[in-house]
Amino acid sequence: MDKLMKELRSNLLVNPDVSILKNERWQLPVVSYEVSYSQVKRFKMDILMKMLLLAFQETDIRRAATLAEMLMVEELFIRDLIEKMERTDLIGVEKTGYKLTAKGHEYLEKGIFEEDMEEGRTLISYSAVHDAYRSAAGNESEESKEMLSPYRYAAEGAVDWDRLHELLLEESLGAEESFQIVVTDIINCEESGTEFVPCIEFQLYDRKQDVFYARVWNGMTGSWDETLEKQIEEKEIVGWREAYIPQNK
């Protein structure tokens, strides 16, 4: 981390008008959650399934053999497809024969078909300071062997299940050319621990512009963190000017 700090200092001081008033290191708490969710595999409906649904919508049909004869398709294949559509609640049996359910009408109109999949599980991290969720699988925070002080403006927050769902929908969880994996609901969310992310803070002054500002390197994202910088500036810049301006006259 010392090597990284030297590199960052060097980059910040490329501008001769900029001076570093102070720099320090601290750790940002990021909470991890183990999330379980339901998901479906979504396909574009094939022609045969569309033909069967249209037939059930327009005609009274009670036997698979009748459809097999109409469509000139093997009866066993038709029977398997009918069982699949019954199992997924696209059709139901009435007195006059097979009929589309509300779900069947919806799927036929959209031209899609969905199959339930096994429950999925993943790790999600949440930074209350940023009020932001991200996949914990992508977290690559730089290790710090030092015991750093906590971020002075650390915050706490409650889990927002709707936002977790939105994140999982946005993540690529298994899209293929022939189908797409869609997260339908969050089943459970349990806190699994807190990671302490090392950050490097610089307090700076630009003499030419007469501007005080902060730069904060986030060890998890491996980049400058504008959210943390703005938060520190809003709370402290007035104090910096009062403390440092006499030294710059």
Q: Give the residue extent of every domain in the chain.
A: 2-38+118-248, 46-110
Residues above pLDDT 70, as percent of the chain: 92
Residue 133: pLDDT band with limits 50, 70, 90: very high
Question: Exposure of 67 by Cβ count < 10 A (0-12 exposed, 13-18 middle, 19+ buried)?
Answer: buried
Output the pLDDT for position 228.
97
Is it the case that residue 48 has pLDDT exceeding 80? yes
46-110: which CATH architecture? Answer: Orthogonal Bundle (1.10)
Task: Say which amino acid occupies 90.
Answer: L
The strand pairing partners of 132, in sequence order, are 127
pLDDT of residue 201: 97
**For range 31-54, the mean pLDDT:** 89
Nearest-5° Cα angle at 140, 137 to 217: 135
Q: Is the pTM of this model over 0.75?
A: no
User: Mapped to the 3 state alphabet, what secondary structure does 198-213 carry?
Assistant: EEEEEEEEECCCCEEE
Other C-beta atoms lying within 10 Å of the C-beta of residue 150: 11
Q: Which pLDDT score is estimated for 112?
A: 86
Average pLDDT of 63-91? 85
Residue 208 is predicted with a pLDDT of 94
* Mean pLDDT to the nearest integer, 170-190: 78
What angle, 0 to 180 degrees and rounded to 10, lies between the N-to-C axes of helices 75-87 and 47-58? 80
**Residue pLDDT, tens place only, 138-172:** 555 555 556 899 999 998 888 899 999 989 888 75
As a whole number of Å, the CA-based R_g of the chain is 29
At residue 58 the predicted structure's pLDDT band, cuts being 50, 70 and 90, is confident
Beta bridge partners of 182: 40
Q: What is the pLDDT of residue 79?
A: 87
Using CA atoms, how far apart are residues 168 and 160, in angstroms rounded to an integer?
13
Query: What average pLDDT does the segment 201-209 reach?
Result: 95
Query: What's the pLDDT at 141?
Result: 54
Q: Which of 246, 225, 4 is nearest to 134 (CA)?
A: 225
